[in-house]
């Protein structure tokens, strides 16, 4: 988080804030309120809080509402006090984090609520903003969703291009899955216990596009079968044919209008790239309340 905030501030303040420095006396004190302009799920307040003292250690932010709170328009989320010039310099970076992460939490919560009562988990993907993945996946959790792989080292997911490359070398799906299990790093195998001398079996997920491919993957030993861009009818058929031999994930083309119907097919997980790759930021603003005392002059 510290590195992400430092990069964001360097991006915004690399040449200074020429407007503020030309106009606002350096000794002018004031306070500001961070206010919600629409309803949603708050996320990123601790990130925003860390921005202000990085600009000026004398700035103090009092958090009034915590992450996960269901905010509505006009709710005061936090208050900041200190030098007005430095509040203004930190404003945009702090709000960018807060608006983006709250937008992700809010969108995730919409999907979670849409499938309420059904035994399915809403999950994110790796379709995140470069360098912001850890924060964006945190926001998904705040919204009630679950995280899929954090990175390529988190688990084995055999996708269509992996299959194409290996099938061109004559390997069957069963051989591909066995090869993945055999060559997986020890870090994915877990730690043996006294009751389980051998480390737990590595989870292998396979992406498929048709019902026959889904059945083949389950019969070949996949632990999770990802149904990619399948119709509702094909999803239902795949779930029935696999019959509990593997967990099933639906992915691709999942919209809020469609997500409950997808959940009703019987899949275990639904992964949704739209939670992070194209989410609308939540409208949150900072409103300044400057002190009537302007200090003793303003240098050039």
The question of whether 223 is a catalytic residue gets the answer no
Share of the chain above pLDDT 90, in %: 89
The question of whether 149 is a catalytic residue gets the answer no
Is residue 96 domain-shared with residue 173, that is, in the same domain?
A: no
Is residue 107 domain-shared with residue 144, that is, in the same domain?
A: no
Q: Is the pLDDT of residue 192 over 90?
A: no
Write down the catalytic residue from 67, 205, 213, 228. 228
Structural domain contains residue 136: yes
The question of whether 6 is a catalytic residue gets the answer no
- In the prediction, which pLDDT does 298 show? 40
Is residue 155 domain-shared with residue 89, that is, in the same domain?
A: no
Please name which of 254, 258, 247 lies closest in space to residue 272, comparing C-alpha atoms: 254
Total length of the chain = 300
> Mean of the pLDDT values across residues 196-202?
52
- In the prediction, which pLDDT does 55 show? 98
- In the prediction, which pLDDT does 116 show? 98
Is residue 32 domain-shared with residue 156, that is, in the same domain?
A: no
141: domain CATH number is 3.20.20.70
C-alpha to C-alpha distance for 11 and 142, rounded to whole angstroms: 27
Q: Which tens digits make up the pLDDT trace of 219-236?
A: 999 999 999 999 999 999
Question: Quick one: pLDDT band at residue 291, thresholds 50, 70, 90?
Answer: confident
- In the prediction, which pLDDT does 300 show? 38
Structural domain contains residue 297: no
Structural domain contains residue 76: yes
Q: Between the CA atoms of 156, 130, 86 and 300, what dihedral angle is there, to the nearest 10 degrees?
A: 150
Q: Indicate if the alpha-carbon torsion angle 147, 149, 154, 157 is positive or negative.
A: positive
Is residue 97 domain-shared with residue 129, that is, in the same domain?
A: no
When divided into structural domains, the chain yields a total of 2
Q: Which tens digits make up the pLDDT trace of 63-90?
A: 999 999 999 999 999 999 999 999 999 9
Structural domain contains residue 300: no
Is residue 126 domain-shared with residue 178, that is, in the same domain?
A: yes
Question: Quick one: pLDDT band at residue 188, thresholds 50, 70, 90?
Answer: confident
Question: Quick one: pLDDT band at residue 190, thresholds 50, 70, 90?
Answer: low
Write down the catalytic residue from 67, 136, 207, 249. 207
3-class secondary structure, 207: strand
> Mean of the pLDDT values across residues 12-20?
95
> Mean of the pLDDT values across residues 187-211?
69
Is residue 23 domain-shared with residue 123, that is, in the same domain?
A: no
Question: Quick one: pLDDT band at residue 112, thresholds 50, 70, 90?
Answer: very high
57: domain CATH number is 3.90.1170.20
Q: Is the pLDDT of residue 292 over 90?
A: no
Structural domain contains residue 140: yes
Q: What is the pTM of this model?
A: 0.92
Average pLDDT along the chain: 93
Write down the catalytic residue from 127, 174, 236, 260. 127
The question of whether 181 is a catalytic residue gets the answer no
- In the prediction, which pLDDT does 201 show? 64
Q: Is the pLDDT of residue 195 over 50?
A: no
The question of whether 46 is a catalytic residue gets the answer no
Task: Give residue 94's domain range.
Answer: 2-111+281-290
Is residue 119 domain-shared with residue 98, that is, in the same domain?
A: no
Write down the catalytic residue from 70, 72, 159, 179. 159
Q: Which tens digits make up the pLDDT trace of 175-187?
A: 999 999 999 887 7
Write down the catalytic residue from 92, 149, 236, 245. 92
Q: DSSP alpha helices (H): ranges in the chain?
A: 2-13, 18-23, 45-55, 84-114, 133-142, 160-167, 173-183, 211-219, 232-242, 259-263, 274-277
Q: Is the pLDDT of residue 241 over 70?
A: yes
Q: Is the pLDDT of residue 296 over 60?
A: no
Q: Which tens digits make up the pLDDT trace of 148-173?
A: 999 999 999 999 999 999 999 999 99
Answer yes or no: are the C-beta atoms of 111 and 261 closer than 8 Å.
no
Is residue 255 domain-shared with residue 122, that is, in the same domain?
A: yes
C-alpha to C-alpha distance for 1 and 94, rounded to whole angstroms: 13
- In the prediction, which pLDDT does 202 show? 77
Structural domain contains residue 229: yes
Is residue 154 domain-shared with residue 89, that is, in the same domain?
A: no
Is residue 135 domain-shared with residue 269, that is, in the same domain?
A: yes
Q: Which tens digits make up the pLDDT trace of 26-60?
A: 999 999 999 999 999 999 999 999 999 999 999 99
Structural domain contains residue 298: no
Structural domain contains residue 266: yes
- In the prediction, which pLDDT does 215 show? 97
Is residue 37 domain-shared with residue 122, that is, in the same domain?
A: no
């Amino acid at each position: 988080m510290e590195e992400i905030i430092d990069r964001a501030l360097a991006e915004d303040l690399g040449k200074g804030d020429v407007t503020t420095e030309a106009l606002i006396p350096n000794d002018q004190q004031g306070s500001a309120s961070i206010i919600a302009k629409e309803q949603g799920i708050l996320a990123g307040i601790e990130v925003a809080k860390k921005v202000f003292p990085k600009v000026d250690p004398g700035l103090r932010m009092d958090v009034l509402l915590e992450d996960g709170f269901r905010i509505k328009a006009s709710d005061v989320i936090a208050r900041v006090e200190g030098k007005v010039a430095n509040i203004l310099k930190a404003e945009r970076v702090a709000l960018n984090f807060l608006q983006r992460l709250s937008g992700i939490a809010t969108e995730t919560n919409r999907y979670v609520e849409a499938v309420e009562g059904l035994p399915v988990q809403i999950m994110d993907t790796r379709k995140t903003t470069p360098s912001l993945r850890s924060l964006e996946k945190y926001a998904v959790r705040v919204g009630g969703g679950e995280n899929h792989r954090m990175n390529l080292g988190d688990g084995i997911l055999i996708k269509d291009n992996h299959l194409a490359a290996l099938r061109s070398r004559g390997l069957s799906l069963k051989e591909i899955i066995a090869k993945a299990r055999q060559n997986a790093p020890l870090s994915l195998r877990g730690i043996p216990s006294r009751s389980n001398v051998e480390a737990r079996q590595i989870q292998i997920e396979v992406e498929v596009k048709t019902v026959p491919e889904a059945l083949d993957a389950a019969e070949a030993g996949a632990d999770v079968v990802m149904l990619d861009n399948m119709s509702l009818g094909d999803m239902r058929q795949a779930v029935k044919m696999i019959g509990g031999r593997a967990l099933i994930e639906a992915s691709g083309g999942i919209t809020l209008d469609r997500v409950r119907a997808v959940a009703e097919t019987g899949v275990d997980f639904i992964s949704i790239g739209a939670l992070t790759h194209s989410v609308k930021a939540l409208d949150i603003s900072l409103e300044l309340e400057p002190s009537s005392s302007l200090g003793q002059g303003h240098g050039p």
